[in-house]
Structure 1
């Protein structure tokens, strides 16, 4: 366990409020990535359900959206995310991540390089990236990635015709680096235990929650399975369940 120090904000005005809260070092994280198919109200409803069900992070991904549209979507869903104590990541767009005060940015192959992105970000903002091999994972760690996402682990409709990389390859990536690794691709209730056994920091899903008619239930089932697992992450992502909006920021105390 680690502690987190609160650097000011509205909560200071509440009598008896303690400025130190706990961050779990052993909790798997559930990241839900948007599928780029929803308008603002539908997106808000699904996101609200997902975080209510236990999603730790929402990654906003709309690959073809102009910056202004992505910014507006982020602003629309942020109240639901922050209200649940969850985090917001912006896919690809560093400018939107900065403008919205998101917890970080997730970079793709054609995004800005990590080395060019790091000086732009606040010290506590995450920079994640997608990798597809041990070599890419090691390089991402060397240039300063906060975490990496590796996949696709199992067959998935989002990668038709491409063979899955499998659990053994995932384990090799986890073993090769000392930063958190999230698994992605075809992860379901039927195979999640195999994934958690590799020492990943958690999982990232799209359709398993976004396409489910009951996204809250879908997220809750995954969350409960992870919480009940006897496996633990090799390297966990920090998770602070506290307010961190414009009224104050949280700082991880090593």
Structure 2
């Protein structure tokens, strides 16, 4: 169940056109608002939890996740894969998704490095480190998928298009930049961060269309508006 929020311009165009079916694979309608639950994001022994407090726009609900730096929950990471809703899996290229936006609130009290990784046939591709300031404020970030870099040792073909054509796992990761950074878990074959004591809240993860798709939406929306505005009106029938 999704929280009702003021739609963005892109979301408004998608809604008006009503051409994108809701599905369990990546699409331009993919969005996690965390209105009532964790939206199938998970994390092993220390999973993220739903919090009913105020999210980025003041509406109720966001994703709470922390790490203690020492136990099996010592690393701040969470993921969405085939065991969940699969909203973020599949063919990003065919879906016209060129970026992912999200809101983050770093409650740690110190800056944290943050990454998103995408796993697929090409291997694991990750974003550049995003610095989340430890100021306890909601901030929006947008990740351009064309800027992802292959993570050495993650297997696959090493080709970004292969991974974006069939994403099987999306993960969010953070650490305190103490010197470990990202590394490969040899047993699981996944990218993971170093240990840290971190508390980061996440809200409103949303697919962003590529520019050409966005222009198409705007053009179709304007065309529909103009056709409706200039369509001839029928004269009322006379009353006999």
Shorter chain as normaliser: what TM range?
under 0.3
* More strand, by proportion: 2
* More helix, by proportion: 1
Normalising by the residue count of structure 2, what TM-score does the alignment of the two structures yield? Answer: 0.26
Q: For the pair shown, which has the larger CA radius of gyration, 1 or 2?
A: 2
